Amino acid sequence: MIERVLATAEALALIELLKEKHGPVMFHQSGGCCDGSSPMCYPDGDLLLGDQDICLGEIGGAPFYMHKNQYDYWKHTQIILDVVEGRGGMFSLEGVEGKRFLTRSRAFTSEELQELGLI
């Protein structure tokens, strides 16, 4: 089965640290506004999800959501959650750690797109 969202070892380690401090967490890929288009990490349940939010999978035991309109642009790519030094979104849990989550991606192959039912 092809995973739509993955995480680097560094991202998984930061997720574990955040879970130790805050309990279960969740992610939502921001579509802009205040924090740009960053992956945002919240205590699980702190962000109210709508009917248009899609769960793309789990990383480190944390669900990863994206709004359907944004997903329409990203559906041909695999999202790879990574971590870099620096301050991220002001509403995201990792900001006080001096690190920020970053979305990287790669295009699915033709075979993967076919398996996902996108072609």
Q: What pLDDT digit, counting tens, does each position of 40-89 carry? A: 999 999 999 999 999 999 999 999 999 999 999 999 999 999 999 987 66
The string of DSSP letters for 47-106 reads SPP-TTEEEEEEETTEEEEEEHHHHHHHTTEEEEEEEEES---TTSGGGGGTEEEEEEEE
Residues 6+ apart with CB under 8 A from 46: 26
d(CA 109, CA 115): 10
Task: Indicate whether 109 pLDDT > 80.
Answer: yes
Task: Indicate whether 36 pLDDT > 80.
Answer: no
Q: How many CB atoms lie within 10 A of CB 117?
A: 6
Mean pLDDT score, 2-9: 96
pLDDT at 34: 54
Domain 3-89+104-114 grouped into CATH 2.60.300: yes
Q: What percent of the chain has pLDDT over 70?
A: 93
